[in-house]
Structure 1
Amino acid sequence: TPWQYRHYAPHDIRGLSNLLGGRDSLAKSLDALFEADTAILGKRLPDVTGRLGQYAHGNEPSHGTAFLYAYSSEPWKTSALTKKILACFYQNTTSGLCGNDDCGQMSAWYVFTSIGMYPMCPGSDEFILTAPEFDKTVINLANGKKFTIKVKGDREDVYIDKITLNGKEIDRNYIKYHEIMDGGELVFTLTDKPNMKRGLKEESLPYSMTTENKAPMPYTTSDIQYFPNERSVILKVRHPHAKIYYTLDGSEPDDRSTLYTQPIKLHASATIKAVAYVEGKTKSDVMVAEAIKADYLPGKKVNPTRKGVSYAYYEGKMKSTADMLKMQPLRTGVCSGFSFGELNPADDHFGVIFKAYIKLTQKDVYEFILLSDDGSVLFIDGQPVALNDGSHSTAMGNGKIALDAGFHEIEVRYMEDTDWQELRVGMIGGGHNSWGALSSIAYVK
């Protein structure tokens, strides 16, 4: 679910933290995950097991989540949570594993975490540190050296008070691979109360692709696609003290641009660019949003003779629907709708171009939707609206366009490569909201 995948950016947790509003916001976001109601709404999700709030230890993309506190303003929470997960979800019973082991992933998490270190980011040489389960662990390295991990204090305590590497105290929340391979001794001093001063410095944070402490990027909650007359655009940013500056002409904003103090009134299409500034942070990345005022295409002056959809059927290997434009159709005709079922197509390697005039009774912004396996594209009055081209499994493509009442030419191109065949065409707007709406209002000359 989105709960589990929201924090899954192991290569760039600093970037994620910046988007959320900073290290405090990252901690609050993680708290919300672990403290949420455990109820799951909707369909049955067999992999969402081993839950603390909406954290699901049985779903492997969650496995790094408890370690993300090491990047936040509350790094002591990592050890408390990993201790709890080890105790709750690895039981010495016939059903002691919360989920399946998936080629050893669940077991590997246990081994790493129980000795006090976890490889958060693939490709990085760092291991995030957490409170070990054992009083003493000795790793016999391939180079003949030994790396020893010890616990001082009660190993049942869940917080880290101090860590020393070869007798020297370290304040960082990670250890590097070469430090392990060099051999030596890593000692954790545990306590029953969190040390809220340890691991807070910038240099204490583990690796992240983003290295800057950036302000979070602004965003808009306003629907700015195909607005009819005017539109108020609301800009937001996930930081209480951020200032937003913006431009409407496509130029790059900075702190000399217009300061955002109230919703922006738009009466025409515009390219909105916005940037946020927070004291003590570098400026945010630039938000770019295209606001499009509806320019309604007029209806065409045509007199269709009957209901239906004309088609041209092709066979041959294709990489995209455009390949049909260079081929000769095997047959043409009129069918009842945007479906190849009644055309008796080949099992694989065929394509169809459907054309018709659709009769719209209302001026509106219409959304057209394609669901297909393999590729499909949809044009209205010669303009591309929904793009879902190429060889792929079932996927959806959609787009919007402003249309006046009257007849409008529609063209749907479909190509089948191999295996499964599927094409569904839908429309929302003008009182229609269904997959079958188009066929009922389609005409041919």
Structure 2
Amino acid sequence: RVREDHFVRLISADLLSGAPGGFDSEAIALKEVKDAAGALKIKWLSLSNARTRDRGRYNLLGMSAYGRIKELSSELRYEVKELGWLKSQDKGEVVREDLSRLNLNVSLRRRISEITTSNFRIKLNRTSLSGGWGAVNESTDVGFRVDVDTSYPFLNPIKIGFSGRYISMRSGEVESQMGAFSMYFRDNFERVGPFVLSFGLKPGLYGEPDGSTRFSVNPSLDVVTLLGEITLLKLRTEWGRVALPVGGDIFSRDFTTLNPRLRAERIGEIGCGFELRPENLSLSVEGFYQIRDDMHVPERIEDEVLAWRSVNLNAKIYGLKLDLKAKPAEGVEARAGYVHEFHRVSSAAHIPYRPEDRVEWEISYEAPVGMRLNLRGGFIGRRYVSKNGDEALDAYAAFEPSLSFPIGVGISGLLRGRIYTGKVEVMEGYELPQTTFDFGVKVRF
């Protein structure tokens, strides 16, 4: 906490070689004086082959600002990219596309009483894509949300609120508008005998691209009970959750165009399992079952430069999840996770680009002298590239070691690598290099 007669200023700069991908730099400036705080972040990357092999330039400029005066906060973020897409069938060359995304978030938090606080938030997301392909893609996503946190009776935490959202999409000559409004209530702690319950309800209305309106109830329930001294039994379920299309996905996924006709996804899920908590160890095992109506999945667009777009697919997914966390020694932390899924798809054979097996693991060690060693890796199983075809991308494993170490006062160095086994493609035709290494410095003053 900063007193009224003091201020803090921090400037941090990161420089990484990104070899063989390209140069990577980031600068952050922070300042706090009295009841106000601010931050400015500028990031520039020239990733080249590290992102899309043989696709030439790939540039990103990110800027964000954040200010806080008592209970009011705001954030402005603007990002742009220049990316090379798959070769056009008629031009026979890589086509350049420019992507931009503007995010504005404003939040006002107020304390109503000793046990009650409210939070009002407004969000704006504006994404656009244009260039050599010729068809402009634009998305506007505006929303607000009001949350109230309180306790009743006694100290049981309760959340209530409501939200609204408007989405507009355009791809070439096709466009659509969608609106949504919902309310929610959630009781996060109720004791019933040996069980602890958390339950909620989120009724709402939302529109579809064809002009129709749907109603959802969206109940949810979590149940936990203690079996013995170190074993927790868990049950969770939620039905009718609605996931509206997100136009900003085309910025982060790089390879897709907007689909204004994309319908909202409806999700129902139930999971049951147990968690063991001996000293310095946590093991969680869960079986789950999901019903995904109008699930959003990528589909290849034939004879187009922008090679994919999201479409709707009905599927049932069930499987097993394992999570392990441990602290075997002082300064050492380890975690690992495994997911195996079975897919049942209506009117199709596969869920495109969704592997049935996923493994993630990470081991980190932080020495008293400030050195930090991190080892992480994973495994991604085969991924089918279409709903009905048998063609699939190969499974692969990844290993990412990194080492940060102090060089001087306010200066630290970083060594980082990424190694893949086998041929790795983010999407069909977008191959990644099997080995990349980074080295750089971070300066704070």
Greater strand proportion: 2
Higher relative contact order (CA 8 A, sep 6+): 1
Q: What is the TM-score of this pair, normalised by structure 1?
A: 0.22
Compare the two structures and name the one with the higher helix fraction: 1
TM-score normalized with structure 2 length: 0.22
Q: Which is greater in Rg?
A: 1
